Amino acid sequence: MSDNDSQKRAQFLAAYDEQLRTDAETPSAIKVIVQGPLRLVTFLNGRGFITYKNLGGADQAAIQRLVPEAMAYYQADAEIIRVEWKTRGHDHAPGMHEALIDNGFIRDEQESIMIGEASALAVDVPLPEGVTLRQVTEETDVRAMSAMQDEVFGDPVSDDMAEALLRRLAIDPGMELWVAEVEGRMVTAGRLELVPGTKFAGIWGGATREEWRGRGIYRALTAARARSALNHGKLLIHSDSTEFSRPILERSGLLKVSTTTPYYWKR
């Protein structure tokens, strides 16, 4: 990595910690309480989510107390059936992995925190013949998009995400859903989330059917979302990326600034 990239990485990471690790991280929360350094968030459908801006220099002993204290809050609410604890690789959090495992959490796959200038992504990308891009808002399209993403990610097709997206569309003008289609069949999809009060927009949920990968469609969909972000005055793009999408975003000029690893608890 060049000195310029190292400087940009540090600037992007500082902006991420300052602007995105607040209410901006959980726009669809129905309840948020602060417990010490932690933000304990509740979403619809019995989902809990734990995050924090930093841990205030907590040592291993303090973290061993923080985790069960936070979980006591959710365990007391019978409607909560699953909780995600979001960790970041650049945090000072000694003993966090062990404390989470000891309290019933299961570690999921690590992802890369990617950040870059929206202008670096907002380029013209040629599409294969017959492929078109569009933004979707109608219920039938949203449900079809959600089902396609479930299939691509290897999950059972569920109404939960579609219902959540439809609720967000009804109340949040800062979320956009984008798809690529071939003869009316969705082959790629993803969403754009404009983060109020920040320079950021997030790109999330990128999914491409296996037989259509490697043809530039995901990159074109990313470019379309970046152009929309710029039109809304957002200068930076962020994403938690799997190993499928990370190389594409790196080729577009985004930098890996850290990692994030979710841990999941189920009742």
- Bridge partner list, 253: none
Write down the pLDDT at residue 1: 57
Q: Output the pLDDT for position 259.
A: 97
Cα 107-108-112 angle, rounded to 5 deg: 120
Query: What pLDDT sits at residue 94?
Result: 96
**Number of C-beta neighbours around residue 212 at 10 A:** 17
Q: How far apart are CA 239 and CA 71, in angstroms?
A: 27
pLDDT of residue 28: 83
Question: Which amino acid, residue 177?
Answer: L
Structure confidence by residue, pLDDT tens digits, 160-204: 888 989 988 988 888 999 999 999 999 999 999 999 999 999 999
> What are the C-alpha distances in Å from 126 to residues 74, 201, 208, 226, 251?
48, 23, 16, 16, 15
pLDDT at 168 (0 to 100): 86
What pLDDT is attached to residue 5? 84
Residues of the chain with pLDDT under 50: none
Task: Give Dmax over CA atoms of the chain in angstroms.
Answer: 59
Please give the domain boundaries of the chain with CATH numbers for all domains: 3-113 (no CATH), 116-257 (3.40.630.30)
217, two tokens: 């469609």
Residue 173, Cα to own-chain centre: how many angstroms? 18
